Amino acid sequence: MLPVLSLPALKLFSLFGEQFRFFIVLLWSLIPIAMVFLVEKYRPKWLKIGEISLKWPVIITAFAFMLLNILLYYPFKFGTWDSPQEVAAVVFTNHILFALTAVAIFLICRYMFKNDWYSVFGTIACMSCSSYLFWAANCKDHMLTVAFTAFVILFMVRYITSGKVLDAFFAFFLMGMLAWARPEVGAAVFVFSLVYYLGYNLYKKENRSEFFRLKIFAPLFTVLGAVPFFINNLYVTGNPLVPTFYVYLQKHLSAVDVNGNVIGSSTINNVSYSVPAPSGGIDSFVNIIQNQMGFQVTTLIYDIFGVLLKPESENIGVGVVCPLLFIGIVILPVLYFRNKSIFSDKDISLIIFLLFAAVAIWAAYFNRIHGMNISHGVIPDIRYMTPAYLPMGLLGIFGVFSVFHKNKNTETINEKKITLAMVASALTVVPLLIIVMIFKHPFGANYGGYTSFFMYLVYIMVFVTIIAFILVEMKIISVKWFIISMVLLVSIPLAWQIVMLFFYSEAKFNGYSFWIPFIENLYDSSITVQKKPL
């Protein structure tokens, strides 16, 4: 799916040849100018600090950076082994998917909270507590999966808040498209969403009559959305129900080295991870489902906690990347049992759906949970959990919003100031953390050391934030201290993302050089990464 979606970018880049980088520099420079004129038209107050207008300072700064980048500019050559035009098109498409994901998160928050500034706050927090910056900078399909997951959640949230059946139709249609991006994620999200959808409509008496007349057909739109997936499978595997990634050993899609070994195959504990193409028929489909649903029962609980908190492989844990999950699972139950009146029926429905969405991603990879806990990234890896960061982050944001909502009558809470405080934290705390990590190397100058550094910082700030919440509930401290702790907590995973983006994205085979000449020169002059030989 990702190469198909990248074809427009490839056509665009073909118009510029090896000078396509200049188009990106020009686009990068014009975006802030376009933003200024849009804000001036629709939100003119946002362009002012007191009586001072920010319009011309922003425009002049954008032009200054454009001139600086032109001064440092040189074209990318397509002749090198790691810089083909097709790779650039896929990376650029991932950039667009990243931007669309941010828009989707903002809209989700606005439908849930009815507040623009808090929606900006939620968007920044969710994007910070994820690995989306890193995956938007290379050719992997994780950003694609996240983008479609985000729009599935968006339309389900719209349906819950508005009750319009068209939103449900769109949500299930997008689940079919999600299956093309990642079959296991699409299938799991569909199953859990279907269970939720049926329960939500049958539980509410006022929905039942309409449900059996029209809403019952919404899940069928999943099949319509999955039509490209079925066609793709039929063309490659000969079976519309057998996904294309089961063809590693198929004659025209496998590669063999000089010794006759299949390139890309691996054997771990006498288990081969190169899977021959199924023979076809419904039996093959059933076998795929059985293999997907299998997992090691004896180590399941240990593996879940490992992947969540501290993987045995020394990779970073899901809970470290998205600590908002801990905030949500602590705050929401406490507030609900202490004061149910602050949650409307729609709030409860939204929270339950987000729980279903998060569990669906985990369920999609139960068969790989052991590998994710022990693997160093060769076969399964925690990167597969990337879509789960969104519903988990939204649960945390819902918890934070509930704290604000509960205390708004007793304390002055300004959502704009909170959001600007988060931006200020990103501009100060993030560089400070990176500088400390670079010059001090508290746990060693390697990936495992950097992971430990951010892991312990996250654990400390989660503890501090939960304590601050408890003290706010006990009326011992002001809610502003909870806000400060939240802002600092969110900054830590963002710093980790920046480190991954600048220190390790260059080492990825499926990445690309920095588009912006100024950033590339800053990287070359200030950062040295020692790469181990293969």
Residues, the chain: 534
- For residue 221, pLDDT beyond 50: yes
End-to-end CA, the chain: 30
Per DSSP, the three-state class of 350 is: helix
Confidence of residue 440 (pLDDT cuts 50, 70, 90): confident
Q: Give kind and range of the element (H or E) at residue 149.
A: helix 142-162
Residue 449's pLDDT is what? 83
Confidence of residue 286 (pLDDT cuts 50, 70, 90): low
Beta bridge partners of 80: none
**Highest mean pLDDT pick, 249-258, 312-321, 510-519:** 312-321
pLDDT digits (tens, 9 = 90+) for 465-491: 999 999 999 989 999 899 999 999 999
Confidence of residue 285 (pLDDT cuts 50, 70, 90): low
Residue 461's pLDDT is what? 96
Q: Could you say which DSSP state residue 273 is in?
A: -
Residues 123, 423: Cα–Cα separation, whole Å: 12
Residue 505's pLDDT is what? 64
Residues 479, 466: Cα–Cα separation, whole Å: 12
Q: Is 374 exposed, middle or buried (0-12, 13-18, 19+ CB in 10 A)?
A: middle
User: What does DSSP say about strands 48-49 and 52-53: parallel, antiparallel, or unpaired?
Assistant: antiparallel
User: Following DSSP, what letter does each residue of 241-297 receive, concatenated?
Assistant: TS-GGG-TTSTTT--B-TTSPBTT--EETTEE---PPP--SHHHHHHHHHHHH---G
Q: What percent of the chain has pLDDT over 90?
A: 49
Q: Which residues contact 66 (CB under 8 A, 6 or more apart)?
A: 25, 26, 29
pTM exceeds cut of 0.85: yes
Q: Which residues contact 215 (CB under 8 A, 6 or more apart)?
A: 165, 168, 201, 207
pLDDT digits (tens, 9 = 90+) for 106-158: 999 999 999 999 999 999 999 999 999 989 988 889 999 999 999 999 999 99
Q: Could you say which DSSP state residue 267 is in?
A: E
Q: 372: closest CA among 323, 308, 319? A: 308
Copy the structure tokens of residue 400.
Answer: 């934070």
The amino acid that residue 334 corresponds to is V
Average of per-residue pLDDT values in the chain: 84
CB 387 within 8 A of CB 146: yes
pLDDT digits (tens, 9 = 90+) for 4-62: 999 999 999 989 888 999 999 999 999 999 999 999 998 888 888 778 888 899 999 99
Higher pLDDT, 443 or 35: 35
- For residue 248, pLDDT beyond 60: no
